[in-house]
Amino acid sequence: MAAPGKSAPLSGVDRRAVELDTIAAVLPIERRDELAELLTDHDIETLRHLVNEGMGDNTLRAITSDLAYLEAWGLAATGSTLPWPAPEALLLKFVAHHLWDPQHREEDPDHGMPAAVADTLRGQGFLKAAGPHAPATVRRRLASWSTLTLWRGLDGAFTSPPLKAAIRLAVRAAPRQRRRKSTKAVTGDVLSRLLATCERGSLRDLRDRAILMVAFASGGRRRSEIAALRVDQLTIEAPIEQKDGPPLPSMAIHLGRTKTTSGEQDEVAYLTGRPVEALNAWMAAARIDKGSVFRGIGRWGTVSKRALDPQSVNAIVKQRAEMAGLEPGEFSAHGLRSGYLTEAANRGISLAEAMEQSRHRSVQQASSYYNDATRRSGRAARML
């Protein structure tokens, strides 16, 4: 029993949970209790270092997720935590467990990830796919593993010829078609149907309407950017004059650090007209004048002080799609981003002008959405 006036020392798991809560003040992390069980003291110290170094929240969230998966897989596959640095044999085992040939699996049940390992990871909620993983996912997790190894001041075998050859051969044996993050783009007509479900005027309707309109109209903002949006990022601009009709309200969103930019760049997206009105209506009804713009709403209509989680933005899109009579599995928050560029192409807006608003850095990535729309309706597709 602890001495009077002194609290009992925390166990390793409890201490890591407290430290994860500290990190979560900067980077919201789901499943903290489970992470505290999986991650080691060295893992937590590495994450704390990255937070102090000012790494972007999205990158930190991805690395934390990858690290948790790697530790869970390591325990399930070997019975122990990950060794640092990881030997080449363990890296090859990781590839063999995640990139395999389904046809070969029918002939050899031992091919690919062992059933016991898969069952353990599935029971923990880390494994959802029944088949082999996407090569991009495996490469990303290996890259995170390599990066974490370097941050610990160690060298790894991540560039070894055997590992590269194993990945290359595994991808050839089990090709997977690259799929879009959202099966269908949320174009203007789809967005209108989603917004029609927000017309009852409840607090939740006002919030969801503002989320949908702001995310789309500001260039198809990522769900993480919408979830993290704060009042101090918003600036009222001079109204936009019209030849016919009253001036339109205008607002600037200062994006700060995004997936493709640093916080030093003042990236700006603009809102004009209805999206500004929708945002103002939500903020007035929820009495938000500082802090996070988009927040959770409790059962009794209480507005939380905490920001929405990015996954909640995704869930809102799917819920509104279902309410609109659409198939929710075909839509996601990323559909707003691809939908913005697709709609721009449908309306004859140049790719360069659309990219100014979407803030895409890669012309190739932006044009993959834009060109699909123009090709489908263009003369080259209507030769007969």
Task: Say if 5 falls within a structural domain.
Answer: no
Pair 202, 320 in one domain: yes
Pair 139, 221 in one domain: no
Pair 90, 115 in one domain: yes
Residue 262, pLDDT score: 46
Task: Say if 253 falls within a structural domain.
Answer: yes
Pair 83, 221 in one domain: no
Q: Dihedral sign for Cα 180, 252, 363, 369, please.
A: positive
Task: Say if 309 falls within a structural domain.
Answer: yes
**Lowest model confidence (mean pLDDT) among 103-112, 174-183, 347-356:** 174-183
Q: Which of 147, 173, 199 is the last residue of a domain?
A: 173
Pair 194, 161 in one domain: no
Cα 16-69-25 angle, rounded to 5 deg: 40
Pair 53, 89 in one domain: yes
| Angle between helix 351-358 and helix 363-377 axes, rounded to 10 deg | 130
Residue 325, pLDDT score: 94
pLDDT (average), residues 339-347: 80
Pair 362, 293 in one domain: yes
Supply 241's token pair.
């004059």
What is the H or E stretch that residue 239 is in? strand 234-240
Pair 16, 87 in one domain: yes
- Do 58 and 259 touch, CB atoms closer than 8 A? yes
Q: Which of 173, 205, 230 is the last residue of a domain?
A: 173
Which tens digit of pLDDT belongs to each residue from 7-47?
455 566 666 666 665 555 544 455 566 666 777 777 777 77
- Over the chain, what is the mean pLDDT? 80
Pair 294, 333 in one domain: yes
pLDDT (average), residues 174-180: 51
Pair 275, 200 in one domain: yes
* Residues of the domain holding 240: 188-378
Pair 348, 217 in one domain: yes
Residue 202, pLDDT score: 93
Distance (Å, whole) CA 346 – CA 189: 11
Q: What percentage of the chain exceeds 90 in pLDDT?
A: 30
Q: Which of 143, 173, 203 is the last residue of a domain?
A: 173
Here the CATH number for the domain that contains residue 282 is 1.10.443.10
- Do 85 and 74 touch, CB atoms closer than 8 A? no
Task: Say if 351 falls within a structural domain.
Answer: yes
Three-class DSSP category at 360: coil
Pair 168, 214 in one domain: no
Q: What's the start-to-end Cα distance of the chain, in Å?
A: 86
pLDDT at 91 > cutoff 90? yes
Total number of domains constituting the chain: 2
Distance (Å, whole) CA 332 – CA 313: 9
Residue 90, pLDDT score: 94
Which tens digit of pLDDT belongs to each residue from 122-143?
998 888 877 888 888 888 899 9
